[in-house]
Amino acid sequence: MRTDFEFLALERVDDHVLVVTYDRPEVANAKNTKMGEEQREVFESLYVDQEDVRCVILTGRGKHFSAGADLKERNGMTDAQWQRQHAIYEQGAVSLKACPVPIIAAVNGAAYGGGCETALGCDFIYASTKARFALTEITLGIIPGTMGTQHLTHAAGDRRAKEIIMTGLPFSAEEGYEWGIVNRVCEPDDLLEVALQTAQRISSNAPLAVMRAKRSVTVARHTDTQTGYLYELEAYNRLVTTQDRREGVLAFNEKRKPNFKGK
């Protein structure tokens, strides 16, 4: 995976954790077309080859997570240009969703519009006390278009999702926590460290098991229990034959930390 992006900063931590930072702080990390292309590339790359990345933290530079699509860039676009750009954002959302390794959104400030949708598309959200969330698309004559209506409904229920989407009003990190949207609320100075601790905990576990657990939970949300259980059993039995399964049991009996290889 290349790291020389214009609007994303990538940093490997402890070999197995990748921190991806939106890097347009002068415009509240609003997503222009190039940033959308870069986000798509990063997560498509991780789908193809994880390069021993076992957990991703997604955050924003400066005071904001992301203000969503760059409306200054969109000003004056033809319908065709708008739809072409949105197709890039759609592909970015799909690649984020399909990423096999866990993704933690560390929301440090405003996550509005497409920025909120991106946070919702991650596996879970840690938020600063200064974070604010909103799906503001309705105020522009559109609706969320990168899975926002889907993910918010699954997280908070249809009644809460309708209220948030139809009003376009922002809500706080504490409200997001109360409504089941945010997993943890942190002090601003602690946010990245807390997210990193969780990422390191995840990355210390067997990566094949983590990826299959992630997918099994995702399947459970979209199907009936019996079908979901069949998928779970298939994933379970594939893990029985792995080196990591044998290493995990051996390490337990030898009273040492396991050395998982993803094999």
| φ/ψ of residue 11, rounded to 5 | -140, 130
Residue 137 bears catalytic tag? yes
Catalytic choice (37, 38, 117, 232): 117
Q: What angle do CA 2, 81, 23 make, to 5 degrees?
A: 35
Residue 251 bears catalytic tag? no
Catalytic choice (37, 38, 137, 232): 137
Catalytic choice (28, 30, 67, 69): 69
Q: Torsion-angle region of residue 15: left (phi > 0), alpha (psi -120 to 50) or beta?
A: left
Question: What is the DSSP annotation of the chain?
Answer: -----SSEEEEEETTTEEEEEE--GGGTT-B-HHHHHHHHHHHHHHHH--TT--EEEEEESTT-SB--B-HHHHTT--HHHHHHHHHHHHHHHHHHHH-SS-EEEEE-SEEETHHHHHHHHSSEEEEETT-EEE--GGGGT----SSHHHHHHHHH-HHHHHHHHHH---EEHHHHHHTTS-SEEE-GGGHHHHHHHHHHHHHTS-HHHHHHHHHHHHHHHHS-HHHHHHHHHHHHHHHHTSHHHHHHHHHHHTTS-------
Catalytic choice (109, 114, 148, 248): 114
Residue 117 bears catalytic tag? yes
Task: Give the Cβ contact number of residue 31 at 10 Å.
Answer: 29
Count of all residues that appear for the chain in the document: 263
Residue 113 bears catalytic tag? no
> Which residues are catalytic, by number?
69, 114, 117, 137
